[in-house]
Amino acid sequence: MSTTIVSYLDTLPVELLNHILNFLDTNTILLSFRYVCKRFYIIANAYNQYKLNLNSCRKNNFYHFCRIINPLNIISLILSDDDKTPGQISLFLSFFNLKQFIYLHSLTLLEIDDKNLNIILKDLSHLLLKSLTIKSRTSLTLTDQTLSCLSTILEQTNLKEFTLSIWCFEIYDFIWPNQCQIEYLQISNRITFEQYCTILERCLFLQTLIIKDVLWNDTDMVISTYYRQLKSLTLEDNRMDIYKLEQFLSLTPSLIYLKVIGMAYLIDSYRWEKILRIKLPNLNKFEFFFLSWKNVNYNFSDIEALIQPFQTAFWLENKQWLVNCDYIINPTEVMLYSIPICKSYFQYHNQSNKISCSNFTNMNNKNNEMMMDNVSQLRLNLVKTIYHENFLRKTELSPYPLFRNVTELTLDLDYKCPSYLSQPLSSLINLSHITQLSLNLNYDLAFDLHTTTNLINIFKQTSNIHTFEICNNLSSINSNTKIEDICLLIPKYIEHLKITVKNVNEMKIVFDRFQYLSSITFRFSFDTLIPSSKVIESFLNIKSDLTYKKDDCSVRVWLNEFMKN
């Protein structure tokens, strides 16, 4: 920061500086602004609107924050035991008690285990949380005691937003409190129809609900109760057929927003118009993505027939909802979806492998640009997708990349790379936005310097990535690719690495080569014998200040690069 700018800022009143700090992240305030001058140091220490996000945090910064933060100044807190910071929550609880954060409004707990969640939930009764997010690791289970504590927390009248992701069978036993003031609820699981009704009966102020699906077998029941408080509903993996779904949606006639992601049996275009006209008269936004894996050979006329019911005045004039249908030739898939695509995850297929048809004749530039804007996670086959004449011709005509907001990119490598890969890929994706890059190796890289060089050139264009994952899916019997070959692909500027290894010796090679990393996740090959816990622990314990978690097929390590140096 220049001396002139510092001198100007230093003349501003404290109230205005505090307002400016509201637009800065905690890292910038505590690691930069705080050390500009003595006055800024004092202001930063007194600032009481900190949103402390420790997800992906480097361990030396974690220790620094724990030394200098005042719990009374924190209004939002994110703790995580995910692959990037395993063991963080236990370490944080060794420094603090959640009771100290009396002004905390928002709490997010990622990949938390039962022990730590139980400890934290007991302290939450002393706080006035407005928002609570809990996501446990898929393989971990929660005890009845923990679930009971969680149910009690939901009775707090100040709690308005709640997000829950736990082991699927535990959600069926979860008891919802009799009275709940929640307005926003997201459950990353399927729930039973009885639970769905219970939630709506007991959450009288609930306006937004996001769930995977509702398990409902009794379709002969008579609908006698309506839940008019719900305005927004999302089904992220719906398995109900169109007839069940019609009855289901009848329960919530006041919906103004509906999103349904589901399977083939929802592709009943005429019935959808009837449902939306009669059952949901107030609906002003409908997003959907339906996928079918029928092994049928379609031509353009067949796809036109699927899209034709969406070309009525209801869709194009009254609602102005754009719909597209793609037929993927290999593997055989039919995708029917609203525009822009409403899924965050998308698998790309090149133009020569699909037939497309829309309910509109010409799409304006704005809609065309926005078509894939909701996609943040993209997967594509590197060679099959890019190394194709039609793709090259199409991307040359496009003034902007199709995927503008992708942050997580997965590349499948099945064949040898062509020499001119890197430029076409940047025409398809805005590579500057990629923060997490994954490479699935299904091809033996050994002795193929050309492909290795091409991959490295592609990775150079993703200069903002902080997480790199490389999965060697080849059997050690059929592959000559060594861990040293794989290490050559790994960019030097990443912070978090996920890599496939065969033994402790390969773990040591990775440790020695990438001393600067913040975290490493070792995944063991499917065809190798996983080292015993004793062997892994004896290896990890010789390293300075690391925290780790291990399960049946991986070891996740959080490192402190300052201790290594």
- Quote the pLDDT of residue 393: 47
Query: Are the C-beta atoms of residues 497 and 514 closer than 8 Å to each other?
Result: yes
SS (H, E, C) 109-142: EEEECHHHHHHHHHHHCCCCCCEEEEEECCCCCC
Per-residue pLDDT tens over the stretch 480-529 = 888 888 898 898 889 999 999 888 888 889 988 888 899 999 998 776 66
Cis peptide before 331 (omega within 30 of 0): yes
Lowest-pLDDT range of 178-187, 202-211, 328-337: 328-337
Burial of 41-67, coded b for 16+ CB within 10 Å and e otherwise, reads eebbeebeebbbbbebbbbebbbebee
Query: Are the C-beta atoms of residues 350 and 388 closer than 8 Å to each other?
Result: yes
Rg (CA), the chain: 26
Burial class (CB in 10 A: 0-12, 13-18, 19+), 299: exposed
Q: Which two tokens stand for residue 337?
A: 């979806």
Per-residue pLDDT tens over the stretch 458-481 = 888 888 999 999 998 877 666 788
- Quote the pLDDT of residue 6: 58
316: DSSP letter: I
CA 307/CA 325 separation, integer angstroms: 7
pLDDT greater than 80 at residue 193: yes
- Give 558's pLDDT tier (boundaries 50, 70, 90): very high
Q: What is the mean pLDDT of residues 19-31?
A: 93
Phi, psi (rounded to 5 degrees) for 105: -105, -30
Per-residue pLDDT tens over the stretch 121-156 = 999 988 999 999 999 877 667 888 888 899 999 999
Most confident of 124-128, 296-300, 355-359, 373-377: 373-377
CA 75 to chain centroid: 23
Q: In what order do the strands lie in the sheet with 519-524?
A: 345-347, 377-381, 408-413, 436-441, 467-472, 496-501, 519-524, 554-558, 547-550
- Give 536's pLDDT tier (boundaries 50, 70, 90): confident
Q: Annotate 210-228 with DSSP letters as a single string.
A: EEEEEE---TTS------T
Per-residue pLDDT tens over the stretch 286-298 = 999 998 877 778 8
Q: What is the pTM of this model?
A: 0.89
CA nearest neighbour of 184 among 206, 154, 201: 206
- Give 354's pLDDT tier (boundaries 50, 70, 90): confident
- Quote the pLDDT of residue 196: 92
